[in-house]
Amino acid sequence: MDHLLNERLKQIEISGIRKFFNMVADEEDVISLTIGQPDFHTPEHIKQAATDALALNKTSYTHNAGILALRKAISAYNEEKNHLSYDPESEIIVTTGASQAIDITFRGILNSGDEVILPGPIYPGYAPLIALAGAKAVYADTTKDGFKLTKENLLRHITERTKCVVLPYPSNPTGASFTKEELEALVSVLQDKDIFILADEIYSELVYEMPHHSIATFDAVRDKTIVINGLSKSHSMTGFRIGYLLAPAWLAKELLKIHQYNVSCASSISQYAALEALTNGKNDPRVMLEAYNERREYVYERLISMGLTVNKPEGAFYFFPEFPMKEMSSFQLGLELVRKGKVALVPGSSFSTIGEGYMRLSYAYDINTIKKALDRLENFLQM
């Protein structure tokens, strides 16, 4: 009966990351640097808050947008950390992970035939949701611009059908991030156009030399910007599934309808854990950031010494080196790395065809694992 399924659904394939992971999962003695998940445990005080919430029977439905105390904490946290001002009662929705926030945003703003500009290479979670909404993903190649969407590149891809541009920075898979001046250039293009901006800032706490800048701080585009964030990366809470979106009140009111019928509300227990994270755990990300930075320096020096072309990440916890094996696809290279080198990286093609020729390396692993994996990678390149 598959002919009865939604035609848009049938055109979507499993994520290239997951497809590759499943193919090599049974290989023996392989060191993996594939997963984009913090290798730190959720801080104890956050886990205790979840335990306390269970003991106090805080297990019922919450307000559709999330408990007000959490929305107030999200507002205060973003004011302090990212200089963003959002009303907790009308401009914040707590979601089941950042992915659900992205989904309800696309379903709320896109109509059939609309176009969404994606700066590639890019995390593969956007295009399927765009397609399910009946719209089209339009990829802008950023490989010649440090993996950042520039004013000129943006202008080349805007058409009369453009409804939204996605700004996923700091970037998965490249680690690229924007300066304030780079954002100003994009604002100059978008401020007078009827185009939404989806700013996915899930890695905003994981930036290194320069501070994180959000395009939503620019008044000229605030009313058309949806900021996506969450606690998975900042507080190592991937399994709690708490994300949130920040949007102007007129838009948040509409998106809340989709959220309400989609999940009713995010997990009550997870919300109380998130409340603890954003109040008493505001500085928890610093410990992880220091460790990531040490790993980043080590990995960068090793990759350069191997003769690979690679940009030093400005945020997140990924490298996206270019590989010289042009006679094979990045997927084939990934399989060769696993079978001959006994090390797993994610093929660049998982992040759109623009990522062909690259591989993503996650350094969300302990330093000993990283060292062993890079030794194997170096041996493979010398074969």
CA distance 220 to 311: 31
The answer to the question of residue 268 being in a domain is yes
The conformation of residue 43, written as its DSSP 8-state character, comes to P
Q: What is the pLDDT of residue 11?
A: 81
Would you state the pLDDT for residue 269? 98
**SS3 track for 59-93:** CCCCCCCCCHHHHHHHHHHHHHHHCCCCCCCCCEE
What is the spatial distance between Cα 47 and Cα 53, in angstroms, rounded to a whole number?
10
Asked, for residue 147, whether it belongs to a domain, the answer is yes
The CATH number covering residue 11 comes to 3.90.1150.10
DSSP assignments along 104-155, one per residue: HHHHHH--TT-EEEEEES--TTSHHHHHHTT-EEEEEE-TTTTT---HHHHH
Convert the pLDDT of each residue in 154-182 to its tens digit.
999 999 999 999 999 999 999 999 999 99
pLDDT, greater one: 221 or 3: 221
Check whether residue 124 and residue 150 sit in a common domain. yes
Q: How far apart are CA 111 and CA 318, in angstroms?
A: 33
| Nearest C-alpha neighbor of 130 from the set 96, 159, 154, 166 | 166
Q: Please give the single-letter amino acid code of residue 208.
A: Y
**pLDDT value, residue 112:** 96
Q: Domain check: are 131 and 257 in the same one? A: yes
23: in domain: yes
21 closest CA partner among 379, 334, 353, 381: 334
Question: Does residue 328 sit in the same domain as residue 209?
Answer: no
Q: Are 217 and 233 in the same domain?
A: yes
**In the predicted model, what is the mean pLDDT of residues 304-310?**
97
Shared-domain flag, residues 227 and 295: no
Same domain, 228 and 211: yes
Residue 47 belongs to a domain: no
Same domain, 77 and 194: yes
Quote the pLDDT of residue 277.
98
CATH number at residue 235: 3.40.640.10
Whether residue 77 lies inside any domain: the answer is yes
Q: Give 202's contacts (C-beta < 8 A, 6+ positions apart).
A: 98, 228, 229, 230, 232, 233, 243
Which pLDDT value is given to residue 41? 97
- Asked if residue 124 and residue 265 are part of one domain, the reply reads yes
Task: Name the percent of the chain lying above pLDDT 70.
Answer: 100
Say if residue 23 is in the same domain as residue 140: no
- pLDDT score for 25: 73
pLDDT in tens, 248-306: 999 999 999 999 999 999 999 999 999 999 999 999 999 999 999 999 999 999 999 99
The pLDDT value recorded for residue 317 is: 98
317 plus 249 within the same structural domain: no
Q: Quote the mean pLDDT of the chain.
A: 96
List pLDDT tens digits, range 4-21.
788 888 787 777 777 777
What integer is the mean pLDDT of 327-345?
94
- Count of the separate structural domains present in the chain: 2
Spatial distance between the Cα atoms of 185 and 182, rounded to a whole number of angstroms: 5
Q: What percent of the chain has pLDDT over 90?
A: 91
Can you give the pLDDT at residue 67? 98
Among candidate residues 279, 304, 337, the one where a domain is terminated: 279
Tokens of 297: 């320096």
Among 10-19, 308-317, 349-358, the least confident range: 10-19
User: Containing domain of residue 148, as a range?
Assistant: 58-279
50 domain residue, yes or no: no
Tell me the mean pLDDT in the region 131-146.
Answer: 97
DSSP H/E element including 359? strand 359-362
* Residue 159: inside a domain: yes
- Say what the pLDDT of residue 19 is: 74
pLDDT confidence of residue 39: 95
Q: How many CA atoms lie within 13 A of 174 on its CB side?
A: 29
Same domain, 96 and 210: yes
Mean pLDDT of 23-41: 88
Same domain (yes/no): 249, 303:
no
Q: How buried is residue 35: exposed, middle or buried, by Cβ count under 10 Å (0-12/13-18/19+)?
A: middle
User: Does 51 fall in a domain?
Assistant: no
| pLDDT band for position 121 (cuts 50, 70, 90) | very high
Is residue 210's pLDDT more than 80?
Answer: yes
- Select from 264, 279, 294 the last residue of a domain: 279
| Chosen domain end from 245, 279, 313 | 279
Question: How do 115-120 and 162-167 pair as beta strands?
Answer: parallel
